[in-house]
A and B are shown apart, each in its own frame.
Chain A
Amino acid sequence: MSQLSQLKVLIADDHFLIRQFVRNALLDSKITDVQTAADGNEAIDLVQKAQENGQPFDIIFLDWNMPTMSGLEVLSYFRAKREFASSAFVMLTAESEQQNIMKAIKAGATSYIIKPVSPTDLAKKLVEIHEWIKRKRLTAQTVQG
């Protein structure tokens, strides 16, 4: 996974408008391996199954307010598991209160994007997140080696 276009992405948001908007922005960056989830439980199932199948998601976009489990709960669930340490969990939310941003960062969010976001700004964030993933995996390889 050295190319941006090879990233595998999950978009978890209960609104189809955002799922489709992000999917379009990813397509602009030539990222085609994209799945979507409409609630927190579905996101957990998809991320876990992908990991078990040996084809984990590289980036998981999480809305804050979703049915069944919030994005923050999904984030905390996976950050407690070591095998997801190099997966990027990105909060993509209209929730802009400073204390909630801090909560997400403390819970291990890789990035925090406040909606609305333009496709151009999302593309810039993707490059930053891709760099974070590469650094994280390089560090993991060095430690193992």
Chain B
Amino acid sequence: MVMESTVQKTMHLHLDDNLSKEISTAVCETMRKTFKIEMVPGQYEIGEGVASLVGDVTGVIGIVQDQLEGTLALSLSYDVMRDLLPQIVGRSVSITHEMAVDAVGEMTNMIFGQVKCGINGTGLQIKLGIPTVVSGKGHFVSHFHRGKYMIIPFKMDDQLIQVYVALHSGNNKYD
């Protein structure tokens, strides 16, 4: 009798072209459907440590998968929000800080909800937390586990939106 040993292989999420593609699709689709705006995704960059984002309002959401943890963030400037929101609330309404924060929270929810759906459709099983929003001129985002991060830029006319992703595992094997 031949005994066959099976090695169970767990798939993990990586900071790579596939993840960048999932995020780009989700950002472009959310912006097109919600604001009728076409975004152009740029080349992502990989870095390490603390990242400075260009936005004034950032939606942050935790991600977990098997033994992997991470942070997803969507960062926009007040100028971008002042361009986007009048399409929903009307041109005559002044865009307040509270409106910008509320909208970024919901955009974070929609974009990363879609990313989760796309990733889980490939067989990976990720879970997301509840989004929180931080705001303030020139803030930076620091993932507490100081591993590698990915930043994907998106252009809207001459404005910039950024998506930040940091992942880590116990042994940093999956960065």
Contact = CB atoms under 8 A, between A and B. Distances in A.
Interface of A: 15-18, 20-21, 24, 65, 94-97, 114-118, 121
B89 A116 contact: no
Contacts of B102: 15-17
Interface in B18-40: 29-30, 32-34
Contacts of B88: 17, 20-21, 24
Nearest to B85: A17
Contact of A94 (B33, B85, B99, B113): B113
Give chain B's interface secondary structure class.
helix
B105 interface: yes
Nearest to B106: A15
Contacts, number: 47
A11 B96 CA distance: 22
B169 to A, nearest CB: 23
Query: A65, A116, A121 — which one has the most chain B CB atoms within 10 A of its CB?
Result: A116
18 contacts: A15-B102, A15-B105, A15-B106, A16-B89, A16-B102, A20-B88, A21-B34, A21-B88, A94-B110, A96-B113, A96-B114, A116-B29, A116-B30, A116-B33, A116-B34, A116-B114, A118-B33, A121-B33
